[in-house]
Amino acid sequence: MLGLQFIGVAAPRPRRPRVLVAEDHPLLRRAIRVALERDGYDVLEAGNGLELVDRLQETMVAGEPAPDLVLSDQGLPLATGLEVLGRLREAQWPLPFVLMLDGPVDGRLEADAYRLGARAVLAKPFGLEQLRATVRAALALPAEEVTA
């Protein structure tokens, strides 16, 4: 359904880490974008699961660097975060992925996320520090080391 195909182009890592934020609530998406941009990340946005897949394909087709991290809500319209993560893994694309869950965390969804290789599961509502720490950890960046 999602038609995701990893064509194996190894893009050079950008100077500023790129995070693709997939969240269907526009204000929360905007808030995450603003917070991450202030911390020195490049941020791409998607408002539903198919848009998330489209963004990934667009970067490949355009020969742009792929995102370094996907930060995706589970409850996205059209395709859930886990469905997209499953497709990424089927396409053997080891893109770091953080799944945001509406709290309290559903243990089954959390287990599925980790089984599919998610780097972290972030329960909503989360604070800025928690968001920053999770993104840094998922990108394996040292604390406070993102270059603006």
Partner 1 sequence: MILRPRPPLVALAEPLPRLRRALSAALEARGCSVLEVQDGVELLEYLGQASTGDEDWPQLLVASEVMPGLGGLDVLSELQEAGAARPPTILLAARAARVRRAARALGVAVVLDKPPDPASMGWWVQRLVAPEPVRLTIDGW
Query: Which residue number, 8 or 125, has a Cβ lying nearer to partner 1?
Result: 125
Alpha helices in the chain (DSSP H): 26-38, 49-61, 81-90, 107-115, 128-138
Query: Which residue number, 23 or 68, has a Cβ lying nearer to partner 1?
Result: 23
Q: How far is the CB of 65 from partner 1 (least distance, A)?
A: 25
Q: How far is the CB of 127 from partner 1 (least distance, A)?
A: 7
The tokens of 93 are what?
């694309």
Query: Which residue number, 87 or 132, has a Cβ lying nearer to partner 1?
Result: 132
DSSP string, 65-91: PPPSEEEEESS-SSS-HHHHHHHHHHT
Q: How far is the CB of 30 from partner 1 (least distance, A)?
A: 5
Binding residues for partner 1, rule: CB under 8 A, are: 25-32, 34-35, 38, 102-103, 124-128, 131
Query: Which residue number, 1 or 128, has a Cβ lying nearer to partner 1?
Result: 128
Q: How far is the CB of 124 from partner 1 (least distance, A)?
A: 5
Q: Residue 47, CB half-sphere, CA atoms under 13 Å: how many?
A: 4
Cβ-contact 46, 71 below 8 angstroms = no
Distance CA 106, CA 37 (A): 30
